[in-house]
């Protein structure tokens, strides 16, 4: 992080994502907890109710069977006392001997007949009478003077009185409170942990994005040659970086191409245009006889032809390099083509005391654009013609191997100089004494590449240049394209 503003900008993204993620996480955890809490509460209540129902049955039984004498109260209270000691989830409040359970026997009205529990039972009885009671079904009871409600079950015995057994919900509430407390602290911990992880991960990811953004803006402003940083991971950000870099590669090469073209156009058009202009001006000037003017005009026309040719080739090369060459392919026998070419070039070669020799292994059919291939091959021979000193030999070899036609041009001339060798197929590179525009080999390379082949240039160890052109042979591809070609021919 380079500056504070970057820091906040970065954070805002990471913060936002982390906050939302945490919120969702917390919400999910709360839902889980609520479900769990409900389940535990129900379970505890079910257990208390089961205990209450069991005990009230016993107590009712005892109350019914015990004779209603002096001892009745004692017997029943002792049984109730005993039962209260078997309270589930036993954890009594300190000090108070037994406020978690009460036993009450009462008529429809009047004071309690029998009371076992804390206090005199009047408050409990009032509360019971105030609420609607369904026998044998446990119900909730809030008693004045007690913070904690009771769970109460009632039964009616034969003498017409009611027996009530109440169990304080204190234990249940305590268990639930403990549960909540623990869950809350654990939940907060988990959520915080989750937040930290999400924040860290997002910050890392956004850090990469920020680096890419910074690099991209740097590139956009000035430096087209630098690239955005890439990660070794194959994730979205890594892909983004790699895609951007590939795009930049293409843009850079296009821009470079454009520069080269404009440069070469400026250079290669200006001087001949100046010459043409000068010649035409001279031929116009007074005091020049027409016999003197004529050669100047003729050479101006020559110059214009060369310019036109240069312009065409420049555009072809540029198109080929931009992979925009439109090929209308047909089957061409390279062997035949080379033979015709040699026939065409041989007089010119022998004029310059150059020997040309062909070693061909027979037909080599390729599926190519005739016009482009013709020009490419003639460019190769033109190139030899222009660069070779007298009494050299050009050896052309042609063979087919594994569905690839290989054309090798070797000579025993001076070979490529180091500098031409390096930028052989770039536009405008000329050999030292070259008179051409240096487009020849660039065009060859572009055409061959457009046909799926490769051109390599090197110097032979024994001296001289060696150009190797490979082109895929025509086999199956031929069949599938016959149709459109026929249509074109017709």
Using the rule CB under 8 A, is 251 a contact of other proteins? Answer: no
Question: Quick one: 347 or 461, whose CB is closer to other proteins?
Answer: 347
Asked if 240 touches other proteins (CB under 8 A), the answer is no
The binder of other proteins chosen from 345, 367, 425, 443 (CB under 8 A): 345
* Options 111-119, 195-203, 436-444, 450-458: segment touching other proteins (CB under 8 A): 436-444
* Among the residue ranges 142-150, 251-259, 367-375, 388-396, the one whose residues contact other proteins (CB under 8 A): 367-375
Distance CA 32, CA 22 (A): 15
Q: Which of 240, 370, 404, 468 binds other proteins (CB under 8 A)?
A: 370
Least separation, in Å, of the C-beta of 291 and other proteins? Answer: 14
Q: What 3-state class would DSSP assign to 267?
A: helix
> At 365, which helix (H) or strand (E)?
strand 365-369
Q: For 167, how many CA atoms within 13 A lie in the half-sphere containing its CB?
A: 31
3-class secondary-structure state, position 432: coil
Residues 269-298 as x/- pattern, contact with other proteins by CB under 8 A: --------------------------x--x
Q: Where are the alpha helices (DSSP H) in 356-404?
A: 370-387
- 339 lies in the binding site for other proteins (CB under 8 A): no
Strands (E) across 112-191 are located at 114-116, 139-141, 150-156, 162-168
24 or 344: CB nearest other proteins: 344
Scored b (16 or more CB within 10 A) or e, 232-266 reads eeeeebeebbeebbeebeeeeeeeebeebbeebee
Our finding on whether 355 is near other proteins (CB under 8 A) is no
C-beta closer to other proteins: residue 137 or 348: 348
User: Distance from CA of residue 22 to its chain's centroid?
Assistant: 24
Segment near other proteins (CB under 8 A); pick from 52-60, 99-107, 370-378, 409-417: 370-378
CB under 8 A: which stretch of 10-18, 278-286, 374-382, 465-473 binds other proteins? 374-382
- CA dist 182 and 175 (Å) reads 11
- Distance between alpha carbon 171 and the CA centroid of its chain, in Å? 55
Interatomic CA distance for residues 257 and 44, integer angstroms: 82
Given candidates 322, 385, 395, 468, which one binds other proteins under the rule CB under 8 A?
A: 385
Among 19, 34, 197, 340, binds other proteins (CB under 8 A): 340
Backbone angles phi, psi at 210, to 5 degrees: -65, -40
Q: Which is nearer to other proteins, 226 or 328 (CB)?
A: 328
Is residue 156 within 8 Å of 135, Cβ to Cβ?
yes
How far, in Å, CA of 445 to CA of 412, rounded?
Answer: 22
Chain residues 22-51 in contact with other proteins, contact rule CB under 8 A: none
Query: Which residues between 63 and 92 bind other proteins (CB under 8 A)?
Result: none
Residue 124 tokens read as 């409990």
Which of 224, 255, 344, 363 touches other proteins (CB under 8 A)?
A: 344
The residues that touch other proteins, with contacts defined as CB under 8 A, are 295, 298-299, 301-302, 304-306, 308-309, 312, 315, 319, 326-328, 340-341, 343-345, 347-348, 351, 369-372, 374-375, 378, 381-382, 385-386, 436-437, 440, 488
């Amino acid at each position: 992080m380079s500056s504070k503003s970057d820091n906040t900008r970065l954070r805002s993204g990471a913060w936002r994502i982390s906050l939302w993620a945490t919120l969702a996480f917390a919400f999910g955890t709360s839902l889980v907890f609520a479900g769990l809490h409900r389940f535990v509460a129900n379970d505890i209540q079910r257990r208390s109710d089961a205990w209450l129902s069991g005990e009230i049955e016993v107590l009712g039984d005892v109350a019914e069977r015990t004779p209603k004498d002096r001892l009745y109260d004692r017997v029943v209270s002792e049984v109730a006392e005993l039962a209260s000691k078997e309270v589930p989830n036993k954890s009594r409040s300190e000090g108070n001997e037994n406020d978690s359970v009460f036993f009450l026997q009462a008529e429809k009205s009047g004071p309690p007949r029998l009371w076992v529990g804390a206090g005199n039972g009047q408050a409990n009885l009032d509360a019971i009478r105030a609420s609607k009671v369904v026998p044998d079904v446990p119900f909730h009871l809030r008693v004045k003077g007690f913070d904690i409600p009771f769970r109460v079950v009632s039964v009616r015995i034969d003498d017409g009185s009611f027996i009530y057994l109440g169990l304080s919900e204190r234990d249940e509430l305590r268990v639930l409170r403990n549960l909540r407390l623990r869950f809350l602290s654990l939940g907060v911990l988990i959520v915080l942990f989750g937040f930290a992880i999400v924040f860290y991960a997002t910050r890392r990811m956004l850090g990469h994005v920020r680096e890419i953004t910074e690099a991209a803006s740097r590139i956009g402003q000035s430096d087209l040659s630098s690239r955005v940083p890439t990660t070794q991971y194959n994730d979205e950000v890594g892909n983004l970086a790699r895609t951007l870099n590939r795009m930049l590669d293409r843009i850079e090469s296009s821009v470079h191409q454009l520069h080269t073209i404009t440069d070469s156009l400026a250079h290669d058009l200006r001087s001949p245009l100046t010459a043409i202009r000068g010649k035409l001006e001279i031929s116009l000037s007074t005091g020049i006889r027409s016999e003197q003017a004529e050669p100047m005009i003729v050479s101006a026309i020559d110059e214009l032809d060369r310019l036109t040719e240069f312009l065409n080739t420049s555009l072809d090369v540029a198109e080929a390099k931009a992979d925009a060459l439109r090929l209308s392919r047909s089957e061409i026998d390279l062997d035949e083509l080379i033979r015709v070419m040699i026939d065409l070039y041989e007089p010119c070669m022998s004029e310059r005391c150059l020997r040309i020799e062909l070693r061909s292994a027979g037909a080599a059919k390729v599926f190519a654009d005739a016009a482009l291939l013709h020009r490419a091959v003639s460019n190769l021979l033109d190139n030899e013609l222009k660069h070779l000193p007298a009494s050299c030999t050009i050896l052309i070899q042609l063979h087919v191997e594994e569905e690839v036609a290989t054309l090798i041009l070797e000579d025993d001339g001076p070979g490529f100089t180091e500098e031409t060798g390096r930028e052989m197929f770039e536009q405008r590179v000329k050999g030292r004494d070259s008179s051409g525009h240096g487009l020849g080999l660039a065009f060859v390379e572009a055409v061959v590449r457009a046909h799926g082949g490769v051109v390599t240039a090197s110097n032979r160890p024994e001296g001289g240049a060696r150009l190797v052109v490979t082109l895929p042979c025509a086999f199956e591809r031929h069949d599938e394209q016959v149709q459109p070609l026929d249509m074109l021919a017709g």
